[in-house]
Amino acid sequence: MPLPLRPIAALGRTVLALLQGAGSLALFGLEGLSHLLRPPFYGRQFLAAFLEFAFYSLPVVALTAIFSGMVIALQSYTGFARFNAQSAIASIVVLSVVRELGPVLAGLMVAGRLGAAMAAELGTMRVTDQIDALTTLSTNPMKYLVAPRLFAGIVALPLLVAVADLLGVMGGFLVATVKLGFNAHAYASDTIGFVQTSDVVVGLAKAAVFGFLIALMGCYNGYRSKGGAQGVGSATTSAVVSASILVLAFDFILTEMFFSR
């Protein structure tokens, strides 16, 4: 191949590889979702994944949400005090937490915790031929391993984000009333009066999408891993990085869809 054409060929191979990966991921996700609509449903697998998503991830998400709400209140006060607009702090805190920081931070924390765990678990099962053994035992691996995790992510993360929203707003309330000297009743009234039902609903809808993406990337990278221990490590890293990027990318897409008007 002539030297001037080599960069173009390399770019073409990269684009084709990206398209192939995106198509493979989409087919994997659709297949996993399709198994949710057909029996049997493995309730024990779903419950175990749900507990990992919702219960065992609660401490790290709760701490992240509380301190994020506190920081938003402090930073908002520092900026708004220059314009004598301190009364807007309550609205800024509740909107920031409910619309963006609650779903996004919870998604990133869960992606780091569970995306890696799912990829490592399924990757280990793949390289030790346990997934092939399930097929030998007439058990569909997608239905047994992937579908319950996808469903758990869709159901559990909105519940986790609802708690994170409450704790984040509470963190801002504590800083505003204890440190900054706001009237507690007035701050609470401003918070309740400003937030709308659509803000909460869209934030929870974002969380459901993020939960699906986190479970999808963890299962996809683990299910397709190969090459022994090194392959499992690469799958774990890819799961966390790709899930985090998709959470941020889809946050922009969903925000553009619902809040840009």
Q: Which of 6-15, 147-156, 181-190 has the lowest mean pLDDT?
A: 6-15
Kindly indicate the confidence band of residue 157, based on its pLDDT and cuts at 50, 70 and 90.
Answer: very high
152-181: average pLDDT: 91
Residues 201-220: tens digit of each pLDDT: 999 999 999 999 999 999 99
Tokens of 97: 């937490």
Residues 17-50: tens digit of each pLDDT: 888 888 888 898 898 888 888 888 888 999 999 9
> Is the pLDDT confidence value at 66 over 80?
yes
Domain extent listing, the chain: 41-260
156-179: average pLDDT: 92
Answer whether 118's CB lies under 8 Å from 222's CB.
yes
Residues 218-234: tens digit of each pLDDT: 999 988 888 777 888 88
> Is the pLDDT confidence value at 144 over 80?
yes
Q: What is the pLDDT of residue 70?
A: 92
Answer whether 112's CB lies under 8 Å from 240's CB.
yes
> Is the pLDDT confidence value at 261 over 80?
no
Secondary structure letter of residue 138 according to DSSP: T
Question: Does 7 sit behind a cis peptide bond, omega within 30 degrees of 0 on the bond before it?
Answer: no
Distance of alpha carbon 176 from alpha carbon 171, whole angstroms: 9
Residue with tokens 């869960």: 110
54-65: average pLDDT: 91
> Biggest alpha carbon distance in the chain?
74
62-74: average pLDDT: 91
Q: What is the pLDDT of residue 18?
A: 84
> Is the pLDDT confidence value at 3 over 70?
no
Kindly indicate the confidence band of residue 147, based on its pLDDT and cuts at 50, 70 and 90.
Answer: very high
129: alpha, beta or left, given left = phi > 0 and alpha = psi -120 to 50? left
Give the amino acid at 205. A
Torsion on CA atoms 24, 25, 26, 29, rounded to nearest 10 = 120
The pTM is what?
A: 0.90
